Amino acid sequence: MAQNLFQKVWDAHTVRTLPSGQTQLFIGLHLVHEVTSPQAFQMLRDRDLQVAYPGRTFATVDHIVPTDQVSRPFADDMAEQMIAAIEENARQFDIPLLDLEDERQGIVHVIGPELGLTQPGMTIACGDSHTSTHGAFGSIAFGIGTSQVRDVLATQCLALDPLKVRRIEVTGALGKGVYAKDVTLDVIRRLGVKGGVGYAYEYAGSVMQSMDMEGRMTVCNMAIEGGARAGYVNPDQTTFAYLRDRAYTPSGEAFDRAVDWWLSTGSDPGADYDNVCTIDGSAIEPTVTWGITPGQGVGIRESVPLPTDLPDDERALAEEAYAYMDLKPGAAIAGTPVDVAFVGSCTNGRHSDLREAARIVEGRKVSGNVKALAVPGSREVRKAAEAEGLHEIFRQAGFEWRGAGCSMCLAMNPDKLQGRQLCASSSNRNFKGRQGSPTGRTVLMSPAMVAAAAVAGELVDVRTMLNGREA
């Protein structure tokens, strides 16, 4: 019977059906970071348990890492305790840790693919919401809570209910100045932040097929923001080309055998889906959020919606958003003044993201009143970007060029908004207070749009700044 990728990967990793009716699912790869793991390791110690599969467990440090100057002990006691804990836990439980001395350190969802740990047909778990990123490779990847981190450490398994699968076909081709970030924001705008609850999203169609792996990661990264537990793209030659010669992928003939297996995990023609929706990719505009959820988005040429434009059940949240964001219903979103510009995060802190942003700022200057940060997602990304001179382009334009980490996405390190500052951000969440100030405001957009906002000092359509600079 024709199956979709989710069904195949789920079945291949099913250990048994539990008396509760849930599936005991084997987890192929467990990624760990410093924020959600200390209590889980302590629970192991309390029960005198070991890590079941240390070889399937990889740890890194990302959330609390300062991106300007890294010297130990950190000024922030809490951050120092977290990093000391993961160092000790990695030592005691014999887990590889990409620590601050390691050239491979970076955001957990950047380093997994970069090292080739993330592969098609896998089940992947991490104590972090944006684990859905790894689905770009045709894996089933989801975020888990701390007690589930403990379960995976102790057993390499999770007790889970299977998901329904919605196929989202993005047809046609994206216009100039429209990126993967716009696709994922558009999907969430249409289907809502709860539209994916109970689902995995299979992203397909000509736009996804022609998208590079970094774009696919951006799209899958935000599946969780649309309520989907996981998002994935069927593996293809683009996937395999990315994975070839990565540190943890098979090599030689073993790689060719792996490709055969990876291809077999893809959705069959005629596979069943619980739901299918189609989006015309050529109609997607550069998109920005105007509110306090990733679903409150508009095209840059549109206006902030009027309450009467919205369904009844969205009006209360919209009223809250207008007040918090200090935006007028019905006003144009373009022209909104920006205080901070942030290019980075596990959504958009990869090489191609930095390249697109640099393309816009090259030969231009950041507006006088804007603080602008370019933060690579990993040390490898930083090295690759520097090898082609992107750091110089950013610096000459007035951006701060930083070290690798989560930085201002969640502001668990010193990179925080101040007061009511409004940040044009390439990250993934615009919740109240997300970027370190309880009253700070976040507007989500593509890295190129962030770069354009940094230069203009206000939200602006990046297409007006392309002038032949598009890739």
Site residues for ligand SF4 per CB under 6 A: 62-63, 107-109, 128, 130, 345-346, 406, 409-410, 427-428
- CB of 62: closest distance to ligand SF4 in angstroms? 6
With CA atoms as reference, report the closest residue to 93 among 144, 149, 148.
149
Q: Which is nearer to ligand SF4, 64 or 90 (CB)?
A: 64
Q: Which residue has the tokens 């102790």?
A: 154
407 phi-psi bin (left φ>0, alpha ψ -120 to 50, beta other): left
For residue 138 the two structure tokens come to 């045709």
- CB of 374: closest distance to ligand SF4 in angstroms? 14
- CB of 221: closest distance to ligand SF4 in angstroms? 8
Q: Which is nearer to ligand SF4, 224 or 338 (CB)?
A: 224
Provide the residue type at 147 as one letter: S
- CB of 253: closest distance to ligand SF4 in angstroms? 36
Q: Which is nearer to ligand SF4, 128 or 151 (CB)?
A: 128
- CB of 386: closest distance to ligand SF4 in angstroms? 20
With CA atoms as reference, report the closest residue to 447 among 386, 387, 377, 380.
377
- CB of 345: closest distance to ligand SF4 in angstroms? 4
Q: Which is nearer to ligand SF4, 195 or 436 (CB)?
A: 436
Beta carbons within 8 Å of 223's beta carbon, 6+ residues apart: 132, 135, 184, 196, 200, 201, 229, 230, 231
Distances (CA, A) of 178 to 182, 330, 461, 462: 6, 24, 10, 9
Q: Which is nearer to ligand SF4, 30 or 109 (CB)?
A: 109
- CB of 252: closest distance to ligand SF4 in angstroms? 33
CA atoms lying within 13 Å on the CB side of residue 342? 33
CA distance 119 to 106: 18
Q: Which is nearer to ligand SF4, 224 or 271 (CB)?
A: 224
CA distance 365 to 468: 18
Q: Which is nearer to ligand SF4, 188 or 258 (CB)?
A: 188
